Chains A and B, each alone.
Chain A
């Protein structure tokens, strides 16, 4: 009971002074009100919640937005031709953005979409988020459904040639941003979504991705190098038959980051890959990848590949789950989470889980934590490579398996460059 009381107190404190966005179509107001009701019902998390055992929710619970220094950030994806969509301090920035127009793509502001009486997102807003609360509460996602005012709405009707790039910028050192993105990839359509930038002193992004049969969705995200970032992100995806979902996140620095990805494979023969690499330096680095994949159809494949490089007391967390429903025969599930601890102060906490109700299933998971291979290090040094450079090479080698999950070689190269830059600057 003490926990319930603590949760309701925390929720009350966090919501004090907040009110649901005004206006909007009636369906949007209902979805927001429903989310607020659910949020007060479940309550915001406490450290004692099993799902928050490794990551303190305190930074996300503080009623006042913390201050975060605006650090210069390397601009992301400069070498890629994109449709740029800029959000400054969590608000769509039309001036800095490209025209919201591209072939095979319907694109508009979330803030506009929720005012329309008839809109396709009506059937999706909060739906995947609600379904994603299966077995565990994700109150910050519900918070997002209730309070997000801006974001982007994308509907791909065919192959979209240029990736859409969500470029988060910041001008205010106390900016709090709550962004909601809605994505629908129609039958046979293809879309690539990129995200990068500083975002906010405290950022909460929520994304619902509905992929119809034979649809393909690629998601590549760069978080960094602003260190004083607090970010809670959720990606909810539902996959139709023979559809493909691939998501990769590179995180450099960040005092508090929790990235949750929740996927349901709903149509037969669907494929979902989620991967990430996080590099952290210092006691104030905390990065958490939490993934929940539900197999609810036949012959689907899922992969989770997460790598963390930690030094000087940095902490990395991985919570990954594969749930195989009774009818999800011929499931192929793979999960690996590994950390490279560059000194004895670094911490890696992992909780891999499998929950399987079907009998014809192939699922494997592994989690390792290790130091630099001294033999390999000596081999490199014996060829004239100085210790720090040799170590960088081995770090790049360590994260290579995760980077290999990015299909587009150009994007992979951009991320590799960011990574190499981080190593060279030593942060």
Chain B
């Protein structure tokens, strides 16, 4: 599904190398987790994959189903099936959540050469998805993320994911700012969307999210590289001993 090879990335504005050669392959239907201390480059990886400005790829490649991602505009990557759930979902006053979702949905369909759907059809579709995820339809009437609690914002991300039906989902520190109950709700949403055709890359600092979303593979990232890869037990090890022990061991 997603194949990253020797990816090196620096900041566009300054001479600072953030990713120093990342190799990663996520198979169809798999859930991979990336853990790592602050500043290890986890979030940068998610931004580079989704096409945010401000980064320069100096070497390496990233492909989604064999198609080069790095050459595409962010909206083209989305239409190709990539989705980034933001660590800090952006508030957009004045734009209704429903308008936003429908515009995104139809733009992706159009980009793929499919017919756009009418407002009425779309409303029906969104209501169903919201119901499946136990999301209050009231949230759809409000401006995008404005006045949403931390939990509501993250659930709104999951709703977008459910509606847009991406193939490859990147969750960037989705657990940050969530209490235990909210984290459970969000995780349930993610689990409901897991299937054999959809892959996930879950970026997190803490192991606790992985109690709810069980990964197939866990990677530890540090200093711009993936330094260790293992099964779910690796996350537990980090939780128990911290990153410092692990770093010593790697070095």
**Interface residues, chain A, CB within 8 Å of chain B?**
374-376, 378-387, 389-390, 393-394, 396-401
B111 within 8 A of A: yes
- What's the minimum C-beta distance from A339 to chain B, rounded to whole angstroms? 15
Q: Which residues of A contact B78 (CB under 8 A)?
A: 381-384
Nearest Cβ on chain B to A226's Cβ, whole angstroms: 28
- Which residue of the partner chain B has the closest CB to A379? B90
Q: List 7 A-B contacts (CB under 8 A).
A: A378-B52, A384-B111, A385-B107, A387-B73, A393-B92, A397-B143, A401-B94
Once bound together, how far apart are the Cα atoms of A386 and B78, in whole Å?
A: 10
* Binary A-proximity of B99-116 (CB < 8 A = 1, otherwise 0): 110011101100100000
B86 CB contacts on chain A under 8 angstroms:
379, 382
Residues of B within 8 A of A (CB): 50-53, 73-75, 77-79, 83-84, 86, 89-90, 92-95, 99-100, 103-105, 107-108, 111, 143, 160, 164
A165 to B159 alpha-carbon distance, docked (Å): 44
Chain A residues with CB under 8 Å of B77's CB are: 382
Contacts of A396 in B (CB 8 A): 94-95
Please name 12 further chain A to chain B contacts, defined as beta carbons within 8 Å, in addition to the given A375-B90, A378-B74, A397-B95, sorted by A numbering. A378-B52, A381-B51, A381-B78, A382-B78, A382-B83, A383-B78, A384-B104, A384-B105, A384-B111, A389-B107, A399-B94, A401-B94
A-side binding surface: helix, strand, loop or mixed? helix
Q: How far is the CA of A387 from the CA of B164 in the complex (A)?
A: 18
Are A386 and B92 also in contact (CB < 8 A) when A379-B86, A380-B104, A393-B100 are?
no
**B100 proximity list for chain A (CB < 8 A):** 380, 383, 393
Q: Is the CB of B93 within 8 A of A400?
A: yes
In the complex, residue of chain A having the shortest beta-carbon distance to the beta carbon of B80: A384
A390 — nearest CB in chain B belongs to which residue? B75
Residues of A within 8 A of B143 (CB): 397
* Residue contact A400 to B94, C-beta cutoff 8 Å: yes
Q: Give complex CA distance A215, B79 in Å.
A: 54
CA distance A386 to B108 in the complex (A): 9
Measured between beta carbons, the chain B residues less than 8 angstroms from A398 are 94
Nearest 6 CB-CB pairings of A with B: A397-B94, A400-B94, A384-B78, A384-B108, A383-B104, A379-B90
Q: Is the CB of B94 within 8 A of A385?
A: no
Q: How far does the alpha carbon of A386 sit from the alpha carbon of B77 in the complex, in Å?
A: 11
User: Which of B90, B111, B164 gathers most chain A CB within 10 Å?
Assistant: B90
Determine if B104 and A385 form an interchain contact, defined as CB atoms under 8 angstroms apart: yes
Complex Cα distance, B111 from A399, in Å, reads 28
Contacting residue for A383 out of B52, B93, B94, B164, CB 8 A: B164
**Considering only CB atoms, which chain A residue lies closest to B50 in the complex?**
A382
Which residues of A sit under 8 angstroms from B103, Cβ to Cβ?
A: 385, 389, 393
Q: How far is the CB of A386 from chain B (nearest CB, A)?
A: 5
Q: Which residue of A lies closest to B145 (CB)?
A: A379
A381 partner residues in chain B, CB cutoff 8 A: 51, 73-75, 78
Q: Which residue of A lies closest to B52 (CB)?
A: A378
* Complex CA–CA separation, A389 to B106 (angstroms): 12
B101–chain A nearest beta-carbon distance, Å: 8
A380–B164 CA distance with the chains assembled, in angstroms = 13
Expressed in whole angstroms, the Cα–Cα distance for A397 and B100 within the complex equals 11
Residues on B with C-beta less than 8 A from A401 are 94
* Contact A387-B75, Cβ < 8 Å, known A380-B100, A393-B99, A393-B103: yes
Residues of B within 8 A of A378 (CB): 52-53, 74
Contact B94 A382 (CB under 8 A): no
Q: Are B92 and A383 in contact (CB under 8 A)?
A: no
Report the bound CA distance from A374 to B92 in whole Å: 12
| Closest chain A CB from B108 CB (angstroms) | 4
- Docked CA distance A387–B103 (Å): 12
Chain B residue at minimal CB-CB distance from A386 = B75
A382 near B84 with CB under 8 A, answer yes
Residues of A within 8 A of B84 (CB): 382
In whole angstroms, what is the CA distance A390 to B104 when docked? 9
* Chain A residues with CB below 8 A from B107, complex form: 384-386, 389
User: CA A386 – CA B100 in complex, angstroms?
Assistant: 12
A384 to B86, CA, bound (A): 15
Closest-by-CB residue of A relative to B109 is: A384
Chain B residue numbers with a CB within 8 Å of A379 are 86, 89-90, 92
Contacts of B51 in A (CB 8 A): 381-382
Most central of A382, A396, A401 by chain B CB within 10 Å? A382
A380 to B50, CA, bound (A): 12
Per the bound structure, the CA–CA distance linking A401 and B160 in Å amounts to 26
In the bound complex, residues from chain A placing their C-beta under 8 Å from that of B90 are 375-376, 379
Contacts of A385 in B (CB 8 A): 75, 103-104, 107
* Chain A residues whose CB sits within 8 angstroms of the CB of B94 once the complex forms: 396-401
Which of A383, A387, A389 counts the most B-chain CB atoms under 10 A from its CB?
A383
Tell me which residues across on chain A come within 8 A of B164, comparing CB atoms.
383-384
Please give me the residue from chain B that is nearest to A404 by CB atom: B94
Look across to chain A and name the residue whose beta carbon is closest to the beta carbon of B81.
A384
Question: How far does the alpha carbon of A229 sit from the alpha carbon of B52 in the complex, in Å?
Answer: 41
Which B residues lie within 8 Å of A386 (CB)? Answer: 73, 75, 107, 111
Contact in complex: B79, A384 (CB < 8 Å): yes
Instruction: For the complex formed, measure the closest distance between the CB of A383 and the CB atoms of chain B, giving whole angstroms.
Output: 4
Closest A residue by C-beta to B89: A379
Minimum CB distance partner of A401 in chain B: B94
Q: How far is the CA of A382 from the CA of B49 in the complex (A)?
A: 10
Chain A nearest Cβ from B181, distance in angstroms: 26
Q: Complex Cα distance A384/B163, Å?
A: 12
**Shortest distance from the beta carbon of B52 to any chain A beta carbon, whole Å:** 6
State whether A376 touches B104 (Cβ < 8 A).
no
Closest to A393 in B: B95
- CB neighbours (8 Å) of A375 from chain B are 90
